[in-house]
Amino acid sequence: MKQINSFIAFLFLSTTMMAQTPDALFDQGNKAYNLGAYQEAISSYELVLKAEVHSSELYFNLANAYYRLGEVGESVFYFEKAKLLDPENKEILTNLQFAQNMSLDAIEVLPKSFFDQVIQTAMLSVVLGWTRNFAEVGRSALEMVVTRHQLELTDAALSDIVGGMKTLPPHDDVVEALRTLKSEGFRMAALTNSPVAVAKEQLVFAGLIEFFETVISVEEVDTLKPDARVYKYAIGKMNVEAKNTYLIAAHAWDVAGAMAVGCMGALIKRQGIATNPIAPEPTIVAGKLTAVAQRILEQHP
């Protein structure tokens, strides 16, 4: 009888948990964490994520729970996600640094290593003519980074890192700049290496979709940027001339690719970004998108 009653109670509690609100699940995770039940805390926090709720506090607590279990790689990843949402938070920065110092070989920040490897793999795909979609490129790049840093991540964590690109907040200058350009009558399209559905999800989450006339993906030409065919296709789809078109990006290689087919190029020179000395000088170089927008308005009144 006791076994049957316990089983029924377990089912009832599980059903109740599934019906809980994200706030209740978050509180439940915090209680489990404070009791030292770190895996239970992670389970509660992950249910919050499945409810499409994202916050720096959630990622911070999830990172701490993974750290307590000795899973430093996943801990660093979630501290980085917390930092993206709250970049000035001293507790996040301190714990992130501590987790990094505890990693083997003083590993780099995983997201930066990941993105650098994505770009390298994408370039290799273009040069060798591999027909790979961006999801495959991203996953293979991530597996290389994880192996390089001697980390062990579950398949779920690997998928979450790649999927996390859908829920990144925009830089604080982006909305103002896009609003300015649109109000002045400039037509804008998002040109992306991601599939259209993924790119639209990213733009919706970031609150930017309203500024773009359309989203154009490399999947429509079966290659990746900076292949010249991508930029030529986008120009044709928008029914414009290359000489009257700007490619605005925070990556010198992307700007160079568009300029190679006759477009003007605007490089957003954020921290860590440099112009390529062997590529043509971008038409506009500025530290923020708002400054790029202002320069465009000045050059094309």
Crossing angle (nearest 10°) for helices 56-68 and 90-102: 30
8, pLDDT greater than 50: no
- Supply the pLDDT for residue 231: 94
> From residue 249, how far is each of 25, 65, 181, 267 by CA, in Å?
39, 37, 15, 5
212, pLDDT greater than 90: yes
Mean pLDDT of the chain: 80
* Correct CATH for 2-106 of 3.40.50.720, 1.25.40.10, 1.10.10.10, 1.10.645.10: 1.25.40.10
What residues have CB less than 8 Å from 279, skipping those under 6 apart? 252, 255, 256, 259
CATH number, domain 110-165: 1.10.150.240
298, pLDDT greater than 90: yes
Percent of the chain with pLDDT over 70: 72
Name which of 197, 196, 179 is nearest 188 in CA terms. 179
Q: Could you identify the residue written with the tokens 């996040």?
A: 92
pTM (whole model) above 0.85: no
- Euclidean distance between CA atoms 120 and 114, whole angstroms: 10
199, pLDDT greater than 60: yes
- Supply the pLDDT for residue 101: 62
- Euclidean distance between CA atoms 136 and 120, whole angstroms: 13
Lowest-confidence region among 35-44, 90-99, 107-116, 152-161: 107-116
Query: Cα Rg for the chain, rounded, in angstroms?
Result: 22
Q: Which CATH architecture has domain 174-299?
A: 3-Layer(aba) Sandwich (3.40)
Average pLDDT on 276-298 reads: 94
33, pLDDT greater than 90: no
